[in-house]
């Protein structure tokens, strides 16, 4: 849920509270005065009344409803009618009867009370209405078709890290940014600069938007949402204007977050096909990003699925310096996501089992699946959700609108060999990596400034390993290798042309081919040696979905 910038209406709740307090005080005072004025006579007992009678102090007796009022020179008393011998009093003193109009007073009293409550109720209603209006406004902002909203508005995010299941390392990476947004001064004082831009790279539905909202929510700063497409799809010339407006507002409200979804729509590498509108927008974005200091407290988070499509300029130093990859959730993360989604639903679900059958599902699909399962349970028996409900609706979700990557048993085997070979070769050749998972995640190695030629060649071999391993086992080639092969070739080309790593620094086109052939031959030999280990690794990946360098090392140690 998003809320308008608090700063704007920070004075409203105070004014409203004051009004309520003053209203309450007025009602209280009036009631007190009323109580006093209404009846000031002292209630006395039978004995006291008799004393007054005997001492002959009474000047007048008044019959007033259920009471007899006794007036003396100085005072005025009252006593319940039945408590005294009325006849004796009536005979001795002058008697006056007043109409029993106490009910009028009661009505008046009652009306007054109603008025007080009415007043309070109205104020509360008004309060509520204003609150609702504000929320309505926020919802409108949120609901506005993101591609067509015509103004730039700050939203306030109530999402926190507790709403984001799994992706622990992503959260960790963003902690520092949150701290910076909370206390930019601390960083400014120590002259520490943080990146202006963070690029979240990953397939759709893995929580890029959610985590950005959570950063805003955790840091309690305004959140500006824009989709890249909205910049370029509006009228000609408007994209650049919108970008500058966006930065202007974000700076005014700093510390703040600008989130640009699908940034590739703006930052697509310019390539052959020119699009003036997009280019103008991109240039504006670059200018804006260069035009403010890191310490100003505006962080730009860009989300993209296709980092390779992005214009180099966006990735240059001082712009989107930090990149965070989010992949499809692995088994432990799927368990955490399902736990979150099932938290408030009565269930007897074996979450681990469901996590196992949902390889390739993103968080959004798990959400849909959980919802469908709950509906299925309700329709069928109306009580607990069970594992069987998930099984029953899984295919429906898979065939639904979203095209999901979900492996069949055979595909899982192929993918386990493919990824397992990469993990093994990387471990064998000392290429450091975080973990390799059954789903197609980018193979991420440690960032290093200076790489040796042998380190580069080792990486090339890792990229080739998967495809060569599946070829060896299945005598067949598969499409899952395409990205890695492209990476291998790109790296070979860099080794030859960019780094000029030929022995004599002389570059010829044949060198690329030679290097590729040599690498392929070496990986093939290596895979012969590692065949037994690969079977082990495959088993590990099939049951755990991921494998880490340590686990590969353990397997290798057992075999060799």
Positions in the binding site for ligand ADP (CB under 6 A): 164-167, 204-210, 303, 337, 340, 363-364, 367
Nearer to ligand ADP, 201 or 501 (CB): 201
> For the chain, first and last CA: distance in Å?
56
494: Cα separation from own chain's centroid: 40
The least CB distance from residue 208 to ligand ADP, in Å, is: 3
Nearer to ligand ADP, 339 or 413 (CB): 339
- Between CA 256 and CA 292 the distance in angstroms is 13
Token pair of 440 as six digits: 């197609």
In angstroms, the Cα distances linking 443 to 259, 423, 435, 460 are 26, 9, 8, 11
The least CB distance from residue 404 to ligand ADP, in Å, is: 13
Collapse the DSSP code of 387 into the 3-class scheme (helix H, G, I; strand E, B; otherwise coil) and give the result.
Answer: helix
The least CB distance from residue 179 to ligand ADP, in Å, is: 21
- Between CA 468 and CA 417 the distance in angstroms is 10
The least CB distance from residue 288 to ligand ADP, in Å, is: 22
> Which DSSP symbol is given to 345?
S
The least CB distance from residue 405 to ligand ADP, in Å, is: 14
The least CB distance from residue 26 to ligand ADP, in Å, is: 48
Closest-CA residue to 154 (of 80, 221, 199): 221
- Between CA 310 and CA 295 the distance in angstroms is 26
Nearer to ligand ADP, 286 or 354 (CB): 354
Q: Tokens 């291998």 sit at which residue?
A: 488
Nearer to ligand ADP, 371 or 471 (CB): 371
Nearer to ligand ADP, 341 or 443 (CB): 341
In angstroms, the Cα distances linking 45 to 100, 185, 434 are 22, 75, 92
Please identify the residue of the shown chain whose CB is closest to the bound ligand ADP. Answer: 207
The least CB distance from residue 17 to ligand ADP, in Å, is: 35
Beta-sheet pairing, 76-80 with 67-72: antiparallel
Judge whether 420 and 537 are in contact, CB under 8 Å.
Answer: yes
Nearer to ligand ADP, 166 or 255 (CB): 166
The least CB distance from residue 227 to ligand ADP, in Å, is: 10
Collapse the DSSP code of 197 into the 3-class scheme (helix H, G, I; strand E, B; otherwise coil) and give the result.
Answer: strand
Nearer to ligand ADP, 163 or 512 (CB): 163
Nearer to ligand ADP, 404 or 414 (CB): 404
**Prior bond of 255 cis (ω within 30°):** yes
């Amino acid at each position: 849920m998003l809320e308008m910038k608090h700063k704007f209406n920070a004075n409203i709740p105070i004014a409203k509270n004051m009004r309520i307090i003053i209203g309450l005080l007025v009602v209280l005072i009036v009631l007190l005065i009323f109580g006093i004025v209404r009846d000031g006579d002292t209630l006395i007992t039978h004995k006291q009344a008799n004393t007054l009678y005997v001492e002959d102090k009474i000047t007048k007796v008044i019959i007033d409803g259920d009471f007899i009022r006794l007036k003396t020179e100085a005072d005025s008393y009252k006593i319940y009618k039945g408590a005294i011998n009325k006849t004796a009093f009536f005979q001795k003193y002058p008697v006056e009867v007043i109409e029993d109009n106490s009910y009028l007073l009661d009505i008046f009293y009652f009306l007054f009370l109603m008025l007080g409550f009415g007043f309070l109720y109205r104020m509360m209603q008004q309060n509520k209405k204003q609150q609702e209006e504000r929320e309505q406004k926020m919802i409108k902002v949120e609901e506005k078709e993101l591609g067509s909203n015509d103004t730039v508005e700050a939203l306030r995010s109530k999402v926190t890290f507790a709403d984001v299941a799994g992706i622990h390392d992503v959260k960790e990476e963003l902690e520092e940014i949150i701290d910076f947004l909370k206390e930019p001064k601390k960083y400014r004082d120590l002259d520490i600069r943080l990146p202006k831009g963070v690029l979240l790279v990953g397939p759709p539905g893995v929580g890029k938007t959610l985590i950005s909202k959570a950063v805003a929510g955790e840091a309690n700063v305004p959140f500006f949402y824009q989709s890249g497409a909205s910049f370029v799809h509006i009228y000609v010339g408007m994209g650049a204007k919108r970008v500058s407006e966006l930065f202007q507002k974000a700076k005014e409200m700093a510390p703040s977050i600008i989130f640009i979804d699908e940034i590739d729509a703006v930052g697509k590498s310019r390539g052959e096909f020119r699009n003036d509108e997009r280019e103008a927008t991109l240039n504006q974005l670059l200018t804006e990003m260069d035009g403010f200091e890191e310490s100003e407290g505006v962080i730009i988070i860009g989300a993209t699925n296709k980092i390779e499509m992005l214009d180099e300029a966006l990735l240059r130093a001082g712009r989107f310096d930090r990149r965070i990859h989010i992949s499809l959730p692995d088994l432990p993360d799927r368990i955490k996501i399902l736990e979150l989604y099932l938290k408030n639903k009565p269930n007897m679900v074996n979450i681990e089992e469901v996590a196992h059958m949902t390889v390739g599902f993103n968080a959004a699909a798990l959400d849909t699946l959980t919802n469908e399962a709950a509906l299925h349970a309700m329709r069928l028996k109306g009580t607990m959700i069970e594992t069987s409900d998930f099984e029953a609706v899984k295919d429906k979700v898979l065939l639904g609108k979203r095209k999901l990557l979900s492996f069949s048993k055979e595909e899982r085997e192929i993918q386990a060999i493919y990824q397992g070979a990469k993990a093994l070769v990387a471990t064998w050749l000392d290429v450091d990596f975080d973990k390799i998972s059954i789903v197609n995640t980018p193979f991420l190695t440690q960032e290093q400034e200076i790489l040796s030629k042998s380190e580069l060649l080792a990486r090339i071999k890792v990229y080739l390993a998967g495809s060569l391993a599946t070829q060896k086992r299945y005598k067949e080639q598969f499409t899952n290798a395409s990205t890695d092969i492209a990476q291998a070739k790109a790296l070979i080309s860099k080794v030859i042309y960019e780094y000029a790593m030929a022995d004599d620094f002389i570059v010829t086109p044949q060198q690329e081919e030679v290097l590729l052939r040599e690498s392929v031959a070496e990986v093939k030999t290596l895979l012969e040696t590692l065949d037994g280990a690969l079977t082990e690794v495959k088993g590990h990946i099939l049951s755990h979905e991921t494998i880490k360098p340590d686990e590969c090392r353990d397997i290798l140690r057992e075999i060799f």
